[in-house]
Amino acid sequence: MSDPLWLYLHGFASGPLSTKARAFQAWGKTRDVPIEALDLRVPSFEHLRFSAIKARVREAIDAGGAGARAVLIGSSLGGLTACRVAEEDPRVCAVLAMAPAFRLAERWQARMPAAQWEAWQRDGSLEVDDYVTKAKGRVDFGFVEELLTIDVGFPDVRVPVLIVHGTADEVVDIDRSRDFAREKRHVRLVEVEDGHELGASIPHILTQADAFFAPFLNLADTDATRH
């Protein structure tokens, strides 16, 4: 069996050069595991679509050829994407999700003033902070409209999942991760004293990754020795 592909999925308004993406790529490099950070701003940031994001991940797995398997590492929207792809695609063999944005559109609608939500729907787009350009950007209403039909309930993931979530996260409620992990033997939730970005917890997350991904890292080491 071939080594899995390692794919990093960034969060909303972020990109493949994010701090956590680069940290995981550096972690992978020291372990002989190449990690590809995908650009999920598809078809564009302004016209973001969750269906296109999932398709981009599947295309990356397809590129691995026949028999390809994949390990998915995702942050926030990327964590949600990783879980949604894993429930649909049997080629995904493990997921590490940081502050996964479960039921993202539902949460936005609940927290956003009704007038602002209605204005977003009426005007067609909403101004948001774009962390890639470090300027204001716009996202059209079609993104959340589609999410409300696709991201219903919790993903039915059957492969091993490690979730790391900050107890001080004010963007994605940690209770969503607690609810998802409850009574699932294949899901482990690690709570850290940190906010949504998890910047202070990166070293701890990478230590957790060593333990969680040990079977796949051992496989890589064995194959490298064989060749």
Task: Note the pLDDT of residue 223.
Answer: 42
Positive or negative torsion for Cα 41, 194, 215, 82 = negative
Looking at the predicted structure, is the pLDDT value of residue 227 above 50?
no
Q: Whose CA is closest to 144, among 174, 107, 172, 189?
A: 107
Does 115 map to a domain? no
Average pLDDT over residues 86-98: 97
State the total domains in the chain. Answer: 1
Task: Note the pLDDT of residue 1.
Answer: 55
What tens digit of pLDDT does each residue of 184-205 get? 999 999 999 999 999 999 999 9
Does 126 map to a domain? no
Does 61 map to a domain? yes
Tell me which amino acid residue 24 is: F
Average pLDDT over residues 130-153: 95
Q: Whose CA is closest to 101, among 147, 44, 55?
A: 147
What is the pLDDT of the chain when averaged over all its residues? 94
Is the separation of the CB atoms in 163 and 187 below 8 Å? yes
CA 133 to chain CA centroid, nearest Å: 20
Integer-rounded Cα Rg, in Å, for the chain is: 17
What tens digit of pLDDT does each residue of 25-83 get? 999 999 999 999 999 999 999 999 999 999 999 999 999 999 999 999 999 999 999 99
Task: Note the pLDDT of residue 157.
Answer: 97
Is the separation of the CB atoms in 155 and 89 below 8 Å? no
Does 122 map to a domain? no
Average pLDDT over residues 102-129: 95
d(CA 31, CA 218): 10
Task: Note the pLDDT of residue 2.
Answer: 72
Where b means 16+ CB within 10 Å and e means fewer, 8-26 reads bbbbbbbbbebebbebbbe
Task: Note the pLDDT of residue 226.
Answer: 35
Across the strands, what pairs with 136? Answer: 129
Does 132 map to a domain? no
Q: What is the pTM of this model?
A: 0.94
Looking at the predicted structure, is the pLDDT value of residue 174 above 50?
yes
Residue 186 sits in a domain whose CATH number is 3.40.50.1820
d(CA 139, CA 144): 9
Does 147 map to a domain? no
Does 108 map to a domain? no
Is the separation of the CB atoms in 164 and 94 below 8 Å? no
Does 70 map to a domain? yes
d(CA 77, CA 65): 26
Number of neighbours of residue 93 by Cβ within 10 angstroms: 17
Is the separation of the CB atoms in 13 and 45 below 8 Å? yes
Q: Domain containing 62: what range?
A: 5-103+155-226
Task: Note the pLDDT of residue 218.
Answer: 66
Q: Where are the alpha helices (DSSP H) in the chain?
A: 19-29, 50-62, 77-88, 104-111, 114-123, 142-150, 174-181, 202-212, 214-226
